[in-house]
Structure 1
Amino acid sequence: MCRFDKRDCHLALPYYKMSGLSLTEVISRNRGLSNSLCGYGKGFLFFLKHSLYEETLELLTEETANEVLDIFGVAEPSQFPHVIASPSMARASPDCGLAHLERLESIGAPSVPLTLSKAALALRMADLQLYRQHMDRHTEMLQVYGFIEEAKLLLHGRGDTVVPTLLARHLRDNQDGLLVAAMVALHENDKVKLDEADLFFQELCGDVSGPQGGPQLLVDFWEALLMASSQEAVIQELLFRLTTVYIDRVTRRDGRGFKPLKSADDLINWCSHYGVL
């Protein structure tokens, strides 16, 4: 008889946490259960998903990460897009991950996060042709919705530690408009805070400085968010930041190297706030 009813599986989480075992050790202790009568325990699967989705600091080895893929292949293949996006799975074989995603797609309707996950793995494999093939399957608007469903495709970490993914870096160089739109959508859907988005773009752009020492892509994000946001506190903060940027530009009268996504006329026509600015 299975140890847990599905509705009670969350009760295992505190016991796993209090055990003091690492994620790798817990996986090792549950190794081989796929061939048992009940398969992997629901409590173990709940703990595993919680650890991967809550961004545990533990980076799994390639062997263990591939084993995690096999576990979900048996137990919950529908979770693959979210599992593969976890920072703990960074060392998983992209070929192995892609094979699992292909099998998942073959037995059900393809989802946008699944396709984006395949594109991200193609980048890791340095297969740009395969990457473009997957990215061309959906419009940019649908891709934005896909990033809302799985934000870890673009960034890992929270708070003061935000790290752009390889996919985010590729979009920076090739589809910066899509990247900005996705980050605006993540902010508006409470998936990322304003300060986290700031750190994301600062880390993403590195030494590429713009007005007031910030990258132009960050300014593009502020401008796009001002057009989209309905939160008064956010609007006032963005107005202050952008006013500072624009004053700096006028004072220095040096726009060399800055290539904004929207012109001043575009911004004024799109949003009433810019008429005041």
Structure 2
Amino acid sequence: MARQQILRAQAKKELRPSIAGFFDEATNTVSYVVHDPATLEAAIIDSVLDFEAAAGRTSHGSADRIIKYVTSNNLKVIWQIETHAHADHISAAPYLQERLGGKLAIGREIVRVQEVFGKLFNAGTDFERDGSQFDHLFVDGETFRIGGLEGIALHVPGHTPADMAFIIGDAAFVGDTIFMPDFGTARADFPGGDAHQLFRSIRRLLSLPDETRLFLCHDYKAPGRDDYAWETTVRLERQGNVHVRDGVTEDEFVAMRNSRDATLAMPTLILPSVQINIRGGRLPEPEANGVSYIKIPVNAV
């Protein structure tokens, strides 16, 4: 289904989306504004709320760059899309939604992530674990539109149970599944992660046509590379990805991924990020003094 959709888009060049990437070096995250050049309808994917962990302060520099781009190009935001509940940055979707509109959407399996982390943070019965913090929950294979552009949502679990990739025209926004060929793939050791699932999800993405443009959620600038990069293609990944190129078996990948993950530290912002992102990017409800608090579970992660 996804393959046929991309082939249709490639055959109709007018359905090629216009894409702008916004790189946040503090978290190595790339946010995207994707729009239909004909209708100017747009989606924002994986936005970033600036967060100073030491002071516990939020700011909006990264999000305001997106607002400036959207308004200066007269775009109409239809969707605020999250590929998953990020562990390395906080979503700015509610801030952007208030100013630009658009439905806040994520994959349906967010409910599994909410259940796991709701328990970890002892969120209590006031925290709904049904995805109701979002306006729309995508299911695998679901189609949607941005103006004249057809999109399709693909469930690509492994990094987390809820990861989604979004194919829009000839482009695929793959979230935390695969990185630039010289850096490899996402980790699979978070709660609910699974290296076997990640391998199968990546191979599903790499079964798309070779010319499909892949837009990545992160770049960590592999050793020896001078510049950050976040756009590649299916062909380049199949030929040269250091972890999952053609010829690498599932067992080989899983052994590599599990061994590598055992050496990785937790992301610096994982505790505030997940705690907020499972709420759709909203801070926990303020307490009696009007202040929101983020919990830090001790010896629990």
Write 1 or 2 for the structure with the bigger share of strand.
2
TM range (shorter): 0.3 to 0.5
RCO comparison, higher one (Cα < 8 Å, 6+): 2
**What TM-score comes out, normalization by structure 2 length?**
0.31
Larger Rg over CA atoms: 1
